[in-house]
Amino acid sequence: MSRITVTTLQAMKNRGEKITCLTAYDSSFASLLDDAGVEILLVGDSLGMVIQGRDTTLPVTLDEMIYHTQCVARGSHRALLMVDMPFMADADPRQALQSAGRLMKEGGAQMVKLEGGAMQLETVRRLTEHGIPVCAHLGLLPQSVHKLGGYKVQGRDVQAAARIRNDALALQEAGADMLLLECVPAVLGAEISQNVSIPVIGIGAGPDCDAQVLVLYDMLGITPGKRPRFSHDFVSDSEAGSCGIAGAVRRYVEAVKSGSFPAEQHCF
């Protein structure tokens, strides 16, 4: 089967076909997700919390991201491999280009994801000019957790929503190939998905985004502590419980494709 590319994903959006994404951090899970039909594997800096046991994503290094990207790349032969730029690896366009180049050359990444709105426009232009596909990340920005005062829903008031909408359009104009919206009201997720031409991935952004992503360990019910409201334990789901991990992942893919996930209780 052919490798999924940004062109594949754009065609899926144009057809109105839902896209699935999950985080992956190692070869074994990458192979399982690939076989289950997940279109995008995200090597997220969330590994700092779910793999390393840290309180935030901030301590994760570029070398660590490259290592986990290499692991995932060995297990994946179909899905598009997207990788987070870790905290301060994209502090300026020149550094971002060097970091993204290492993630692609050494790690095997096919797309990088970076957090931030207007401040990232020059960086997005620089990366795309050098042939590096970019997914921009708006809404809740985990790397800015201390500035935001915690993990809070973004875009609730008129001004904040307008800023996110404007940033989405500006990032698309700068050359971003995809957009990820995290923890924004469902109505805002729907509006942005309709008003930009590139695919929009949602996590806590409502059912009308073109794609959905979850942290793998959250949807398998193995992340310690309270599960985020926007997630769902697909292993404990009565229809998937007897099917093990592979069955749970297939259930997730089916739920996203059918539109049954996310449901109202997963939205803001």
Q: Which of 182, 239, 254, 264 is catalytic?
A: 182
Whole-angstrom distance, CA of residue 216 vs CA of residue 221: 9
Distances in whole angstroms, Cα of residue 73 to Cα of each of 35, 42, 65, 161, 265: 14, 11, 12, 36, 34
Residues 6+ apart with CB under 8 A from 263: 207
Whole-angstrom distance, CA of residue 140 vs CA of residue 136: 12
* Beta pairing class for 178-182 and 134-139: parallel
Q: What is the DSSP string of 192-234?
A: HHHH-SS-EEEESS-TTSSEEEE-HHHHTT-SSSPPPTT---T
- Tell which residue, 248, 171, 256, has the closest CA to residue 211: 256
In contact, 85 and 104? CB cutoff 8 Å? no
Helix (H) or strand (E) run with residue 106 in it: none
Whole-angstrom distance, CA of residue 62 vs CA of residue 256: 31
Q: Tokens 């592979």 belong to which residue?
A: 246
Active site residue 182: yes
User: Which positions are catalytic?
Assistant: 182
